[in-house]
Structure 1
């Protein structure tokens, strides 16, 4: 006994292709967005952490997770992580401020505004300070 072959199935020929395309479209549009990799920034670009670096961040967009790299001569400079008041006044507190002194310090940014200043007398006043806002 032979069974008849026909097009009576629910999905046949072109229907299978349409279903595959529909599933592919659904997967492509419902996939989570790919996270951007964190960027690394050399503060002051090739000149590094130096005088008048306070304008370096202007026009740049920083994101939480990005890394700032402070490159400098550690015999004559340092980098203090300070608050807004210390940044504005260039008066780094003797206690409580985290001071980096390796000459190649890396700081990962969290969301918000971050302030940095050199603690060597007169350097902050000469623009060796930085305010960076990460979104």
Structure 2
């Protein structure tokens, strides 16, 4: 009886670990702007790419002249970071996508207006 319970617990633990492994194996990592990095005119970078919730976007840039700000649709359209927006400034930011719409801009003056913004829809 005790041996049966141990086997059931071990099987449950194994199934949980396999589930976590396969979930992480399905997620992908994308470097925004590809080899050019996060810079001007990346607004069209998402074309032809499929994104899923849990995928990671890597933003590579010079942190002394750029940043990445997670914004809502209004902030994306207006190129303005709302109060309380998440601002990233490491120059090597990794951001996991959430299901639905994800919007990012550079909040330095004029950068978003020059195409330094992306809208990503994750299924």
Normalising by the residue count of structure 1, what TM-score does the alignment of the two structures yield? Answer: 0.72
Counterpart among 73, 83, 107 of residue 95 in structure 2: 107
Equivalent residues in 2 for 1:108-123, closer than 5 Å: 108-123=96-111
Structure 2 gaps of 5+ residues are 1-18
Please list every run of 5 or more consecutive structure 1 residues that lacks an aligned counterpart in the other structure: 1-31
Query: Which residue does the alignment assign to 1:3?
Result: none
User: 67-76 or 84-93, which moves further after superposition?
Assistant: 84-93
Asked if 1:130 is matched to 2:113, the reply is no
**Pair member with larger Rg:** 1
Deviation, 1:58, is: 1.1
For each residue in 1:12-59, what CA deviation from the matched residue of structure 2 results, as whole angstroms up to 9, or x when unmatched?
A: xxxxxxxxxxxxxxxxxxxx9x65521000000000000000000011
- Aligned equivalent of 1:48: 37
Looking at structure 1, the residues matched to 67 and 80 of structure 2 have their Cα atoms a distance apart, in angstroms, of 14
Residue of 44, 62, 65 corresponding to 1:73: 62
TM-score by length of 2: 0.79
Q: Write out the 4+ residue segments of structure 1 that deviate beyond 6 Å after TM superposition.
A: none
CA distance, structure 1, for counterparts of residue 84 and residue 98 of structure 2: 19
Report the number of matched residues: 102
User: Which whole-Å CA distance do the structure 2 matches of 1:78 and 1:129 have between them?
Assistant: 11
Larger helix fraction of residues:
2
Mapped partners of 1:76, 1:57: distance in 2:
23
Whole-Å Cα distance in 1 between the matches of residues 88 and 80 of structure 2?
16
